Amino acid sequence: MDVAIVGAGAAAACLVDALSRQESEPGRLTVFDPSPQPWRGQPYARDLEQVRVNLPPQQMSARHGDDAHFADWLRSRPKDAARHLDPQLNQPLPPRAVYGDYLEETAEAAIGTLRGRGWQVQLIAERVTGAETRPGARVELHTAGGAKHRVDRAVLCVGAGSPRDVYRLAGTPGFVLDPYPLADTLDGIAADADVAVVGSGLTAVDVAVCLAAREHRGRITLLSRHGLLPHVQQRGFPFQPKHLSRARLLELAEQGQLTLHQLKPLFGAELAEFGEDPEQLAAEIGAAWTEHPAERLRRQLGEVGSEQRARRVLVRLVRSLGPLALGLLPERERKELQETHFRIVSSLCSPMVPVNAATLLALHDAGQLELVEGVERIEPALGGGFGIEATGRARLSADVVVNAVNATPYATPDCAEGLVRSLVEAGAAELGGTGGLGTESGSGRLVVDGRPDPRLLALGDIAGHSLFITSSIAGLVAQTPAVTEALLSGF
Ligand SMILES: Cc1cc2nc3c(=O)[nH]c(=O)nc-3n(C[C@H](O)[C@H](O)[C@H](O)COP(=O)(O)OP(=O)(O)OC[C@H]3O[C@@H](n4cnc5c(N)ncnc54)[C@H](O)[C@@H]3O)c2cc1C
């Protein structure tokens, strides 16, 4: 058995861990990634301390079936756990680079286990530029260095696309296209510069929080079309779905009955377990479009430990079952969810941590931070800086513009363009609506015209059937057992 993983980011680290825990005959595993910081991907690369994880440790375990895996690792580093405690959540929220250390150690330990069982494991620091996939033959991977590697199975874990340049400002002096690592990009910004941040999601929050940590004195303006900030995260509680489970979803899909209409009463039953009312939740979510963002931030900061659990139940279900459910829903419903509800689902399911919300609110209350919605145009100004036009506002200006618009979730990353193109052109893969690769729900196998190819799989941000919002560790970890099984099957 000769298997390859292309890309050594978070998905690959979780997959290697799952593989090391699976009974199997020893084989050969080759992992390709040109990154100088393997097992982290960009999100967990080394950066400023304030670039934190966005979820508590229990929701960021890299090991399926062991929610405490990351929390235990963190506990073995008490300094990190204590230093980065979010007082409201009462949870440690360490820098993402510390989480990267965890991924790296987890992957290296797994490789040690595999080698101990007789596997040959190799990490090749090269980009995979293309693949040949003749029917009935092994997959041939081509690297940037010109080497060719034949394998029985290849899993693509190449991550997501590059940040989008919505206002076509790339190359303009004072414009930062990719804000990470913030340790480098913010270094070039004067402390009294007026900074406009394009976007109002979690990356924009990272930028504002890191500017505050650097004692920035100039104005910070978050620019967005819709004016929606991420919700403020609430304290966790033990929750095991009783009605809306993976098994139930698969059962409904098998009966050809999986529709939003079918999911509604199951969700209602989950809420009823906590005495919660779906109507009240709908009203709370609807208020996101009408309530003043700063007031909503203040209110939600006061509700971190609230006894009302409906929002958290919804988020946990969307996060854990969303990728599977989305792949099984009828195309029409999937499109409707994606096109109509993308913003609100993102705001709910990618919430900001209270410690960051408190910093944002403090900046707002000090008159230093403003959220401007209805942004229509941002352009270089004569004589330097930028001019900004937003509906109902006089023209605004900024010295520096920092882009915080992430890649479209599940788009193809630049680094994997050649590889993905070669697969698509050979008819071995097809692109999903957002550019990610079409995969079979429940196995991760690449599909073309509904037919899965047992030789090619995908996991993580590139897997097109995944949820249309930014992925999470929990979402990809939930898929590792099925992908591992598909990877090892048939040998
Ligand atoms: C800014 C940010 C913050 C996030 N914070 C959190 C969080 O706090 N909690 C959470 O649960 N989730 C978070 N996420 C989401 C999630 O953890 C990531 O999206 C996750 O890293 C996805 O893993 P991946 O392996 O698919 O991609 P990545 O981790 O990006 O890894 C892809 C790897 O593939 C390599 N690669 C690409 N092309 C090739 C090629 N052709 N050949 C070889 N190698 C290649 C790249 O070098 C890279 O190392 C965050 C996401 C972002 C963008």
Q: For strands 445-448 and 451-458, give the pairing.
A: antiparallel
Domain boundary among 349, 374, 395: 349
> Band of the pLDDT at 78, cuts 50, 70, 90?
confident
Mean pLDDT over each residue of the chain, to the nearest integer: 92
**301 plus 200 within the same structural domain:** no
Tens-place pLDDT, residues 194-236 = 999 999 999 999 999 999 999 999 999 999 988 899 999 999 8
Residue type, 367: G
Q: What percentage of residues in the chain have a pLDDT greater than 90?
A: 73
The pLDDT value recorded for residue 331 is 84
Tens-place pLDDT, residues 293-338 = 999 999 999 999 999 999 999 998 888 788 778 778 888 888 888 7
The pLDDT value recorded for residue 435 is 62
Tens-place pLDDT, residues 406-424 = 877 667 888 999 999 999 9
Ligand 1 atom closest to residue 143's alpha carbon, by position in its atom list: 42
**288 plus 332 within the same structural domain:** yes
Question: What domain range includes position 26?
Answer: 2-162+408-488
**382 plus 301 within the same structural domain:** no
User: Is residue 237 included in any domain, yes or no?
Assistant: no
User: Is residue 240 included in any domain, yes or no?
Assistant: no
User: Is residue 455 included in any domain, yes or no?
Assistant: yes
* pLDDT of 468 higher than 70: no
Number of domains in the chain: 3
The pLDDT value recorded for residue 319 is 80
**329 plus 258 within the same structural domain:** yes
**313 plus 365 within the same structural domain:** no
User: Is residue 203 included in any domain, yes or no?
Assistant: yes
Tokens representing 85 are: 């405690």
Taking residues 372-390, what's their average pLDDT? 95
Q: Give residue ranges with CB within 6 A of ligand 1.
A: 6-12, 32-33, 35, 41-43, 53-55, 60, 127-128, 157-159, 203, 406, 413, 415-416, 419, 460-461, 470-474
The three-class DSSP label of residue 345 is: helix
Residue type, 445: R
**DSSP secondary structure string, 183-217?**
HHHGGGS-TT--EEEE--SHHHHHHHHHHHHTT--
> Band of the pLDDT at 464, cuts 50, 70, 90?
low
User: Is residue 236 included in any domain, yes or no?
Assistant: no
**185 plus 158 within the same structural domain:** no
**59 plus 141 within the same structural domain:** yes
Q: How far apart are CA 131 and CA 425, in angstroms?
A: 10
Cβ neighbours of 261 (radius 10 Å): 9
User: Is residue 239 included in any domain, yes or no?
Assistant: no
Tens-place pLDDT, residues 82-121 = 789 999 999 999 999 999 999 999 999 999 999 999 999 9
Residue closest via CA to ligand 1's atom 15 equals: 472
User: Is residue 169 included in any domain, yes or no?
Assistant: no
> Band of the pLDDT at 47, cuts 50, 70, 90?
very high
Identify which of 86, 415, 437 to mutate to test ligand 1's pocket (most ligand atoms within 8 A of the CB). 415
CA of 477 to the centre of ligand 1 (A): 13
**138 plus 207 within the same structural domain:** no
Residue closest via CA to ligand 1's atom 20 equals: 10
Buried b (16+ CB within 10 A) or exposed e, 380-414: beeeebbebebeeeeebebbbbbbbbbbbbbbbbe
The pLDDT value recorded for residue 405 is 92
Tokens representing 9 are: 């980011």
**123 plus 189 within the same structural domain:** no
Q: Comparing C-alpha atoms, which of 42, 58, 49 is closest to residue 359?
A: 49
**22 plus 75 within the same structural domain:** yes
Q: Any idea what the CATH number is for the domain that residue 157 is in?
A: 3.50.50.60
Backbone angles phi, psi at 212, to 5 degrees: -60, -40
The pLDDT value recorded for residue 349 is 87
The pLDDT value recorded for residue 297 is 95
**70 plus 127 within the same structural domain:** yes
**315 plus 459 within the same structural domain:** no
Q: How far apart are CA 205 and CA 471, in angstroms?
A: 18
User: Is residue 426 included in any domain, yes or no?
Assistant: yes
The pLDDT value recorded for residue 139 is 97
**DSSP secondary structure string, 243-308?**
SS-HHHHHHHHHTT---HHHHHHHHHHHHHTTT--HHHHHHHHHGGGTS-HHHHHHHHHTTTT-S-
Domain boundary among 349, 381, 416: 349
Name residues whose C-beta falls within 8 Å of residue 366's C-beta, 6 or more positions apart in sequence.
Answer: none
Stretch (H or E) spanning 379: strand 375-380
**Residue whose tokens read 């270089």:** 380
Give the CB-side neighbour count of residue 186, counting CA atoms within 13 A.
28
Tokens representing 384 are: 């330097």
Backbone angles phi, psi at 311, to 5 degrees: -60, -40
CA gyration radius for the chain? 23
